[in-house]
Amino acid sequence: MQELVFATNNKHKVDEVAAKVGGSFKLLTLADIGCTEDIAETGLTFHENASIKSRYIFDHYHLNCFGDDSGLEIDALNGEPGVYSARYAGTHGNHEANMDKVLAKLQDESNRSARFKTVISLLWNGEEHFFEGIVEGSIRTERAGNGGFGYDPIFQPEGYAITFAEMTMEEKNSISHRARAMEKLLAFLKAKA
């Protein structure tokens, strides 16, 4: 079975992706390959940040790998938080503060349309390929649900009456931005296998 490194330490992301990959490849994490470096996301776009991660792993470990960058884009906020989604309120990974900031900024806003976007950069035998997944939706006025992570409690995907945080992992995985990007990645890899 071919090995494929997912350039992340985010356990939630690994669980989501592992459910999609199944037995197609042996999915390795940064911890599995002994990478303890914190790969700085210094790009200004999702494409740049995803590429930074995959290139770092390929250049230092010479393994087929992929990195992703995801975020929430809110129309009324001119695409914010975008690439700053994880650190929107200042501290990386403070989901509650990030949601508080979004809800405060949208308090008097009627246009609540938004989307989650994922871009994956795959380095396969030295060649880079990009895959994108988008799920449209809207921002709720208050949190709902205990599942998921990040902005899931305030994001309601189009066509649903519940938030990502109210869905089971299986439900979210069937429609999420990361799932859509992963399906494109897996289709590409299966064609290469």
pLDDT band (50, 70, 90) for residue 22: low
Taking alpha carbons only, the member of 181, 174, 173 closest to residue 50 is 181
Q: Where residue 129 falls among pLDDT bands split at 50, 70, 90?
A: very high
What residue numbers does the annotated binding site cover?
8-13, 69-70, 149-152, 172, 177-178
Q: Which of 118, 138, 128, 134 is nearest to 77 (CA)?
A: 138
pLDDT digits (tens, 9 = 90+) for 25-40: 788 899 999 999 888 8
Q: Residue ranges for the binding site for Mg(2+)?
A: 69
The model's confidence at residue 93, banded by pLDDT at 50, 70 and 90, is: confident
**Which residues are known to be catalytic?**
69
pLDDT value of position 190? 78
Please name the residues in contact with 60: beta carbons below 8 A apart, sequence gap of 6 or more: 35
Nearest Cα to Cα of residue 92 among 144, 132, 41, 133: 41
Region 33-51: what's the mean pLDDT?
92
Do the Cβ atoms of 147 and 167 come closer than 8 Å? yes
Q: Residue 133's closest CA among 115, 148, 158?
A: 115
| Angular region, 96: left φ>0, alpha ψ -120 to 50, beta rest | alpha
The yes-or-no verdict on residue 12 having pLDDT over 80 is no
Q: How confident is the model at residue 8 (pLDDT cuts 50, 70, 90)?
A: confident
We find that the CATH architecture of domain 3-192 is Alpha-Beta Complex (3.90)
- Where are the extended beta strands (E) located within 7-143? 26-28, 65-74, 113-124, 127-139
Instruction: Check residue 140 and give its pLDDT.
Output: 97
Would you kindly state where each structural domain of the chain is located, as residue ranges? 3-192
Question: Residues annotated in the binding site for substrate, as ranges?
Answer: 8-13, 70, 149-152, 172, 177-178
pLDDT in tens, 130-167: 999 999 999 999 999 998 889 999 999 999 999 999 99
Token output for 91: 């501290």
Best CA proximity match to 131, nearest among 18, 42, 25, 54: 54
Confidence class of residue 75 from pLDDT cuts 50, 70 and 90?
very high
